[in-house]
Chains A and B, each alone.
Chain A
Amino acid sequence: MISVLLILIPLVAGLISFFIKSNNAIKQWSLFASLAVLGVVLWGFTCNNNCLNIDTAWLATIGSRFTTKLDGMALSLCLLSAIVYPLIFVSTYKNEYHHANNFYGLMLLALAGLMGVFVAADALLFYFFWELTLIPMYFLCSRWGGEKRIAVTFKFFVYTFLGSLLMLIGILYLYYKTPNHSFALTDFYALHLSVKEQGFIFWLFFIAFAIKMPIFPFHTWQPDTYEQSTTAVTMVLSAVLVKMGVFAIIRWMLPVFPLAVSSNATIVIVLSVIGMLYASLLAIKQDNIKKMIAYSSIVHIGLMCAAIFANNEIALKGVILQMFNHGINILGLWIVADAIEQKTGTIQFSQLGGLAQKQPVLAILFMIMALANVALPLTNAFIGEFLMFSGLFQYNMYASGIALLSIILAAVYTLNMMQKVFYGNTLQATENTTEISTNVQFALIVLAIGIIVLGVYPQPLIDLSKDTVMFILGK
C-alpha cells in the first residue's frame, strides 16, 4: 500500500507537471508533490508489514509479480529520497529553467523510478524501475546543463544501459534456475547455486551496480556528468541515484551469491581502495568545485563498496547508515556549490576568494558540511565511516589502513576548498557578492541540523538497519 503510493504519487504528479504552463505553479506543484511523498514515507514508519507492502499478479505467463519489500534499509533510502527532493526544490527555487514544466516533470518521474528500485522485491520489476530512473535522467542531463552535456550524458547512458542489460542476463539465468520459474526475491534467496555459477553471475550483476555507483575503473562517466548537469540534477544523481548501486548490492547480491561474494571480496575491495585513493588525489588537484565534490563522492562510495564486501555486521550497519548520511552531506555540498555559482557566476577556485566576508552565513553552514565531508566526530558521517572502517578492519587490517588515508586526503581537499573559496582576499568575481537567499539558508540549516543530530544520536538509523543486516547475515 505505502510502497505503491511512493511510486504512484511522484509518477502521477510528474505526468501532470507536463501540462502545467506557469513557472510558479509548477514549482509549487512539484514541491507539494515531493512533500506529499515525504508525508507518505513518514506514515510508513508507523505502519506494519501489511500496509507497507503489496503482492499482486502482474505478468502471469512469465511469472513476474508486482511484489514489494520495504525493510529498514529500503525505508531509510525512501526517507532519504523524500527528504532530498523537497530540499532540492526549495534550494533551487529561484533558479529558472527553460521549459520548466518538463524539467520538474522529469525530476518527479525519476523519483518514481527511484522509489520503485528501493521497494521492488521482484527481479523483473526491479529491472523495470532500474531502467526507468535512467530515462528521465537521460533527458534531464541532456537538455539542461553545460555545453558538453549531450556527449557526456550519452556516455553515461550507454555505460549504464550496457550494465543493466548484463544484469538482465543474470536475472534471466537465475529465473531459469528457480524451481517454479519466478522472479521473486525470496525465490532468488532460496537458490543454491554452484560455486562456478555464482562466480559467473556475480560479475554480470556487479558490473551493472559498479557502473552505477561508480567503482573504479567504471567511474569515468561520473565527474563529467556531475559537472555538466544542472545542479538540481546533479544533486539527485549524487545524493540518491548512486545509492541505487550500493543498495542493490546489499539486497540483490549478498544473499544470492554468498560464495561468490566472499571469494571475490578481495578483488572488489582492492578496486574500491584503489579508486578511493585515486579519486582523493584527483580531488586535490581540481580547480573546480563541482569536480572536486564529484571525486569526493567517488571516495565515499568506494568506501561503502569495500565495507559491503567485508560482509560483517558492523560494516553493513555502517554502510546502511552512511548511505543516508552521505546523501545528506553531499546534498549540502551541492547546495553550497550552486549558491556560489548563482551568486558569483563561477565555480573555479582560482576565481573565488573571500566569500566569508560577503556571505558569513554560507561560510558557517559550509563549514559544517565540510566537516561532515571529512567525517569529523560529532557529525553524522563519523559514525557511518567509523563503523565501516572497523568492519573493514575486521576483514583485513591493511585494506582498512590504506583506505583510512582517504580521510586525511579528504581533509586536504575539503579544507583546501574552504580556504580558497571563503577566506583570503575578495577577487573580481566575488567582490559584489551578497548573502545567499533565505531559501538556500533554510535548506542548508535543515541539513546542518540533520548532520549534527545524527552525529550525536544515530541510534534510530542504526536500529532501522538492524533487520536488514540480521536477515542478510542470517542467510
Chain B
Amino acid sequence: MNAIIISALMGVLLMFASMATSNKQIIKNVAIVALLFLLCSNIADTYSWCTIKVNTRDMFVFTKFGLYFNSLAIAATLIYVLLSGNEIIKTGNYAAEYFTLIFFVLCGISILSSFNNLLMMFLGIEIMSIPLYILTGSAKKNLKSNEAALKYFLMGSFSTGILLMGIALVYGASGTFDIHQVAPIGANGLQHAPLLEVIGLLLIFSAMLFKVSAAPFHFWAPDVYDGSPSVFSSFMMTIVKAAGFIALINLFYIKADSLAQLWKILLFIVIIVTLVVGNITAIFQQSVKRMMAYSSIAQAGFMLFALYAINDVSKEGILLYAVAYTLATVGIFAILVKIEDYTLEGYNGLAKTQPMLAFVNAIFVFSLAGIPLTAGFFAKYYMLAAVIKTGGNAGIVLVIIGVIFAAVSVYYYFKILQAMYFNEGDAKVNNVSAGFKYGLFLLALTIIFIGIFPDTLINWFYF
C-alpha cells in the first residue's frame, strides 16, 4: 500500500511546491528526492519492513511481483527524471505540475500492479491516464501537442467507456468484481459462461489492448507519441505501457496451465497484426521520433507474447522486457531531445561530433533490436522461451513470425546506426553536459550488465 499512498501524497506535495518557490531547479531536485523516498518506501513494503496497512477488503492483493514491478517503474522514472529533468522543466511554465502529474501516473501504476478487483483496475487506469492527457498537451503553444492531447483524450475516454461497459456486463453476469471469481478468464473455458460475461470480458480486453497500443486499437499511438513533447512521449511509451501489460497479466494470470482457447486465438491474431503494423510502418518513417512511436507498437506486439504464454517464464520475462525496453527508449529519447532535427538526417555524422553519445545510442539501438550482450536480447529471449514452453504448433508459428519481424525491426533501428556512423554530416547537439554523458554511459553499462547477467534482475523477483 506504501507506493499508492506515498505517490499520491508526493504528488500533492509537489503541487504545493510551486507556491513555495518559483525556482525550477529546486522543484526538480525536490521531485528527485521524492522519487527516491517513494522508491525506498516501496522497497520497504516489498520486504515488509515498514508497511502502511489499510483494510482494502481484498480489493488489493500485494504480491511480490506487483511490488517488484512498482520498484522497477519508480526506479525507471527516477532514471528518466535524472536524465531528462532539465527538458521537463523547459517544456512549459509549470514545472511543478509536470512532476505532480508524473507522481499521479505512478500512483495509477501502483494500483494496476496490485489490483484484485475490476473496479480498482478501472480506478488505476483512470488515475494513470488522465495525467497523461494533460502531459501530452503540455506544450501549450504547440499545435501538434494540442492536437495529440485532444485525440488522446477523446480516444482514451472512449476506451475507458468501453472498459466500464465491460466491467458492468461482467458484474451483471457474475455478480462480483473480484477477478478471481470471474473465473472464465482462465482456463475453465468460456463455453459454459453466459454470453453477457463473454462480451463483457471481450470489451475489457479490447480496452486494455487500446491502452497498450496493440493493433487494431493502435491508431492513436503514432500521433500521440509524435505530437506530445518528446520528453513525455518516452515516459508514455515505456513505463506507462509496461504498466498496461502488468495490468493485463494480473487480470489473466490465474493458476492454470494456459489460457482458454478463445483468448489464444484472439491474441494470436492481435499479436501478428500488431507486429505487422508496427514494424512495417516504422520502416517508412523519416522522423526518428515517429519511427520510435511505431516501433513502440511493434515492441508491444512482442510483449504480448508474455500474455499469450502466461506462465512463470512470461512473468519474469515481462519484467525484464519492461526494464530493457524502458532503459533503451529513455536513453534514445534523452539524446533525441538534444538533437534539434528529429529526422534521420539529424543523426548524420553524430559519431564524429559526439562519439560518446553515438556509442551509447548504438548500445540502446542494439538493445531495442535484441542483439546479444544487451538487455534487449534477454527480453526477447524470455518472450520466445515463454511461448515455446507452452508448446503447441500455433506457438511455434507465432515465434517464427515473431523473429521474422525482429529481423525486420533491425532494418529500421539500424538506420539510426548508419546515420550516426556511416553517413557524412555534422549532427548538431544542444548543450550536452558532462554529467548527462556520464549518466547515459552508466545507463548503457547497465543495459550491457543486464545483457550478460540477467539473473541479477530476476533473482530480486524471488528474494
Contacts and interface: CB of A to CB of B under 8 A. Distances in A.
Interface of A: 59-62, 127-128, 131-132, 135, 139, 142-143, 150, 154, 157-158, 161-162, 165-166, 168-169, 172-173, 175-176, 200
B47 to A, nearest CB: 20
A252 B455 CA distance: 26
Contact of A128 (B373, B391, B454): B373
Contacts of A176: 385, 388-389, 391
A66 B459 CA distance: 19
A162 B454 CA distance: 23
B155 interface: no
A172 B388 contact: yes
Interface string B357-394: 00000000010000111000100010011001101000
A161 B421 contact: no
A157 B406 CA distance: 13
Contact of B421 (A142, A165, A169, A172): A142
Contact of B418 (A128, A150, A168, A172): A150
A154 B422 CA distance: 12
Contact of B407 (A132, A161, A173): A161
Say whether chain A's binding surface is mostly helix, strand, loop, or mixed.
Answer: helix
A185 to B, nearest CB: 18
Interface stretch (B97-105, B178-186, B334-342, B395-403): B395-403
B406 A150 contact: no
B171 interface: no
A128 B316 CA distance: 21
Nearest to A142: B422
B114 to A, nearest CB: 24
A168 B381 contact: yes
B411 interface: yes
A158 B421 contact: no
A165 B381 CA distance: 10
B453 interface: yes
A61 B457 CA distance: 11
Contacts of A157: 410, 414
Contacts of B407: 158, 161-162, 165
Contacts of A132: 372-373
Given A128-B373, A166-B403, 7 more contacts: A61-B316, A62-B455, A127-B372, A128-B372, A150-B422, A172-B388, A176-B391
Interface residues of B, number: 30
A168 B378 CA distance: 12
Interface string B145-166: 0000000000000000000000
A233 to B, nearest CB: 15
Say whether chain B's binding surface is mostly helix, strand, loop, or mixed.
Answer: helix
Contacts of A139: 421
B402 to A, nearest CB: 9
A154 B406 CA distance: 15
A168 B403 contact: yes
A169 B384 contact: yes
Contacts of B391: 176
Nearest to B406: A165
9 closest pairs, A vs B, by CB?
A: A165-B403, A162-B407, A131-B372, A172-B388, A128-B372, A61-B455, A172-B385, A169-B399, A150-B422
A59 B453 CA distance: 7
B61 interface: no
Contacts of A162: 403-404, 407
B458 interface: yes
A162 B366 CA distance: 15
B205 to A, nearest CB: 27
A261 B368 CA distance: 35
Nearest to B421: A143
B459 A61 contact: yes
20 contacts: A61-B455, A61-B459, A132-B372, A132-B373, A135-B366, A139-B421, A142-B421, A143-B422, A158-B407, A158-B411, A161-B410, A162-B403, A165-B403, A165-B406, A169-B388, A169-B396, A172-B384, A172-B388, A173-B396, A176-B389
